[in-house]
Structure 1
């Protein structure tokens, strides 16, 4: 296991050290995969594109900045560009009102076992994409509002407003989609627990491959 920091690995990769790039990829692949899993049906190309853009833009990375925020900011832009292409050449703006479901995208290998997990995944996919992103980054990455602002390219006030709106909209969608009051209560009351289970499901295939 490399003891080099992300910043050292990025600079080495930028200088031509492919081994450093491989270490960086392995270290951060799970978080980038988790970002794309519930938003596109085939995330592999977008994951690869994110890491390629990461090294191409390395000169713009600030040493005093968070590499996680830098990498996920690139992932956000890759996803936005992907959706713009899906939405047609006439629309060059972000897609604040379109959901993953609206865009005809299905989740890839995210498998929800329990009813409340399936309910939450379905509700997230019905959120406008921008609201889905801020909510998932908040829960999955436990990002603070200033980190979300950096990753998403929004002012702090916009982050707070959209995060609150995303939570309210998610609760409305959960209520509309739920056929069981018990599942609804479980989904809304134990979101942190659900996030941990979902993270484990995403990481499980990688652990099995290593055995």
Structure 2
């Protein structure tokens, strides 16, 4: 769908608002999921900023590249810029060390609405691993992106992304174990990780109407 997406982007850049609305409608759910468990009340503004940045940086899309990788690459940069602005008093921001819990300790309200304990546990644990690793893991589970596609998002070798995904899973497992109410809850969440990640995706899809603009 690269050519179609880029065609919509080009038409939007030429002044066709309907093309811009169509592009937004097509990719809004994915970008919402990206910011959902990270940006709190600022998420809506960051989503808008991401689409506008995509428009402004249109010429950076290389022939044959993945539009989704480009889109999430822009979203990643927007998020990191946001958190660099949040850090104060000379504190250093490092996405491979800093967690969402460090910079945004209060989860978004909708992330607390799930009746599934495992979903709440998974969302909380994701916020406790380094932001760069959280992003990679969520793209893998929520967006069904391959290591190669995620490499395009981060502009890193695929081997590096595979290493990061392994490290992210290890840290996620550690955090799940630390905050689970019982060994049974921990094992239920860990062994059904892909299924619980799908629950998150489905719940965010249901939450879409409340957040759309």
- Same fold, TM exceeding 0.5? yes
C-alpha deviation, 1:91, in angstroms: 6.0
- Residue matched to 1:72: 72
User: Given that residues 100 and 106 in structure 1 are in contact (C-alpha distance below 8 angstroms), is that contact kept between their aligned partners in structure 2?
Assistant: no
Give the total of aligned pairs.
Answer: 207
Distance 1:57 1:20 in 2: 17
Distance 1:209 1:88 in 2: 29
- Residue matched to 1:17: 16
Instruction: Give structure 2 stretches of 5+ with no counterpart.
Output: none
1:61 aligned onto 2:33: no
- Residue matched to 2:39: 40
User: Given that residues 12 and 19 in structure 2 are in contact (C-alpha distance below 8 angstroms), is that contact kept between their aligned partners in structure 1?
Assistant: yes
C-alpha deviation, 1:207, in angstroms: 5.7
What do residues 27-81 of structure 1 show as CA deviations (whole Å, max 9, x unaligned)?
A: 1100000000001111000000000001111122124211111111100000010
CA RMSD of aligned residues (A): 2.1
Q: Secondary structure at the match of 1:137?
A: helix
User: Given that residues 46 and 79 in structure 1 are in contact (C-alpha distance below 8 angstroms), is that contact kept between their aligned partners in structure 2?
Assistant: yes
Q: Secondary structure at the match of 1:102?
A: helix
User: Given that residues 73 and 151 in structure 1 are in contact (C-alpha distance below 8 angstroms), is that contact kept between their aligned partners in structure 2?
Assistant: yes
- 130, 133, 137: which one aligns with 1:128: 130
User: Given that residues 123 and 173 in structure 1 are in contact (C-alpha distance below 8 angstroms), is that contact kept between their aligned partners in structure 2?
Assistant: yes
Distance 2:28 2:95 in 1: 25
**TM-score under structure 2 normalisation?**
0.90
Instruction: Give structure 1 stretches of 5+ with no counterpart.
Output: none
Q: Secondary structure at the match of 1:126?
A: coil
Distance 2:161 2:102 in 1: 23
Distance 1:208 1:84 in 2: 28
Flag the structure with higher helix content.
2
C-alpha deviation, 1:105, in angstroms: 3.9
**TM-score under structure 1 normalisation?**
0.90
